Copies of this chain bind each other. A is one copy, B any other.
Amino acid sequence: MRPDILIVGVGLIGGSIGLALKGSSAVNRIAGVDKDQAMLEKALELGAIDHAVTLTAGAENADIIILCTPVNTFPGIIDEIKDILKPGTILTDTASTKKQVMEWFTRLQETIHTIGGHPMAGGEALGVINADKYLFENAVYVLTPSAGTPAEATDKLTDILSILGAKILIMEAGDHDEITAAISHIPHIVASALVDLTQGDSDKLALAAGGFRDTTRIASSDPALWQQILFSNKKPIIDGLNQIIENLVNYRDMLEGDHHEQLYRQLKRAQEIRNQIPHMRKGLLPGFVDVICIVADEPGIIGKLGNILGAKQINIVDLEILHVRDGDGGTIRIGVPSFEKACMAVEALKEYAIKAWVR
């Protein structure tokens, strides 16, 4: 039987899930609830949901409930619906930390199958108006089932979420939170702390291109959202911050103590680990090989590169402008799906006198 879905919170995330599930033969009707009436109407208008409901009416009838509201609304929602859910209902969420949510989920009866969820994609622009059925395509989507949740329920949710094009990864909530602290939450705080370092000085900011822009990009995210995220994963973040503070004290001491060799070894180790990132991703996501090319500052060069490779059936899976050059060019890194394609790309670019090599 095709499940009825309830999406609680039809903004960017909920709306995008709705748009992606709509039209799939694997789901029945998609209901939506939102405190913001205008958002709810817009979601209906955009076709992200089939019908608008109240929270309790929607929850009573749903087979799968997906919480897409801010994490601090979850306790209230859980309390409101906990006694009216059908046995066997699957309840999942989309918050970016999981252990706290899993604790809240224990308030539900055992007949409810609770599975934490974290789709690791998001948009810069919020609201259903920016919802996008491709938002989760190829994104990692972590699921953290409760201890009592039967494997069939997790399988069922996995099947539904696979419609989004996401790569489902199942792990422990605690592991998820520790990993996201290290690779997302602490980098966020560090980016903010780096920005603080400039104190808004205009000379510093004027020169702050390239590496600094990359390193601090995440500091541009919504502070209200991040304040919530950070407090929802307090313990792993505090542990990680203590660790990185210790790491930085070590770097400082190496400089102060003139330990040249030791600093070299530390930087070398970090480089080696960093270089594993694309490599390690291969198991999880389609891997890619980098082609570096040097192009002149001329209009339309990005389009030209795309055409040259497109003509040879080489798909660009990643693209990054590496240089501190403001023109439409500089040194560009192009990710292509395989080493073979990378070699073909270098050949193709050479025909157009574009210097390129496989990294």
Contact = CB atoms under 8 A, between A and B. Distances in A.
B209 A248 contact: no
A15 to B, nearest CB: 12
A331 interface: yes
Interface in A267-290: 267-277, 280-281, 283-286, 288
Interface in A15-66: none
Interface residues of A, number: 142
Interface stretch (A83-91, A101-109, A155-163, A211-219): A211-219
Contact of A219 (B188, B223, B274): B274
A321 B323 contact: no
A325 B244 contact: no
A288 B258 CA distance: 42
B179 A134 contact: no
Copies of the protein in its oligomer: 2
A77 interface: no
A321 B319 contact: yes
14 contacts: A134-B297, A182-B198, A183-B212, A187-B194, A190-B215, A196-B273, A197-B240, A197-B247, A205-B276, A227-B263, A245-B248, A288-B326, A302-B319, A317-B326
Interface of A: 120-121, 123-125, 130, 132, 134-135, 137-140, 142, 165, 169, 171, 175, 179-180, 182-184, 186-200, 202-224, 226-227, 230-231, 234, 237-238, 240-245, 247-249, 251-252, 255-256, 258, 260, 263-264, 266-277, 280-281, 283-286, 288, 292, 294-297, 299-307, 309-310, 313, 315-331, 333, 355, 357, 359
Given A208-B280, A220-B271, A241-B251, 15 more contacts: A120-B324, A125-B357, A140-B207, A165-B297, A190-B194, A190-B215, A208-B277, A211-B218, A214-B214, A214-B218, A220-B274, A223-B267, A223-B270, A245-B249, A299-B310
